[in-house]
Amino acid sequence: MKTRVSRKSLLLFALAYGILPAVFYPAAVNAQTTHSRRSSTKIKLYFPPRKDWDYNVVAVTRRIPKTRRVADAELRELFKGVNDDERKRGLFSAYSLESMITGREECSRKIIKPLLAYYSGVSIRNGVATVNFHKPAGCYLETTPAMANAVMMPLDSTLKQFKSIKEVQYALDGEVITEWDA
């Protein structure tokens, strides 16, 4: 005896077992794609070009999971550095050990970690964003003027794109840096 399976039965079977073939029901796949776009946020980060990392930054666009703490999430993404496509475009990131330029013994590449390891958050009050780091981040912030620019210019530009941020300051273990040693 031959058994005939209806399309409705196949759909119920697929739903019951979590299988929904995109060939038969492409609308479901489009809904998933739309949902994932709604659950992410398009952000803009800034990186310097390799040949001119003293003074200029270039905007790049990425997507991150939707969050209420966008400034913090953007900085965490920035600290990951440039991706392969951005590197091919000639952009540079000063947040990895490979980019570290310092003559100080306590800032040796054998001792220090990438900047993200020292990041503890950002707070925004009265138009001022305070980027907080643990003390060893001073190796990135208090270094040669060109290297300090390569570290801070992308941070400043990324944060100042928000209308609520007019100024950026940096703190090590909660103490705002007011005098810079290079």
pLDDT digits over 10-33, tens only? 445 554 444 444 444 444 444 444
Taking the C-alpha atoms of residue 154 and residue 164, their distance in angstroms, rounded to an integer, is: 17
pTM score, two decimals?
Answer: 0.73
Which has the higher per-residue pLDDT, 67 or 149? 67
Greater pLDDT, 81 or 51? 81
Nearest to 42 by CA among 64, 58, 67, 72: 64
Q: How confident is the model at residue 58 (pLDDT cuts 50, 70, 90)?
A: very high
pLDDT the model gives residue 95? 85
Q: Which residues contact 147 (CB under 8 A, 6 or more apart)?
A: 94, 100, 101, 102, 140
- Over its C-alpha atoms, the chain yields an Rg (Å, rounded) of 23
Pairing, β 128-133 against β 119-125: antiparallel
> Given this model, what pLDDT does residue 25 score?
45
Query: 6 falls in which pLDDT band (50, 70, 90)?
Result: low
Q: Which two tokens stand for residue 90?
A: 């000639």
Token pair, residue 162, equals 């928000």
Task: Answer with the residue of higher pLDDT: 89 or 179.
Answer: 89
pLDDT at res. 100:
61
> pLDDT digit string (tens) for 116-171?
999 999 999 999 999 999 999 988 888 777 778 888 999 999 999 999 999 999 99
| CA–CA distances in Å: residue 98 to residues 21, 60, 72, 134 | 46, 21, 24, 20
Residue 29: per-residue pLDDT: 41
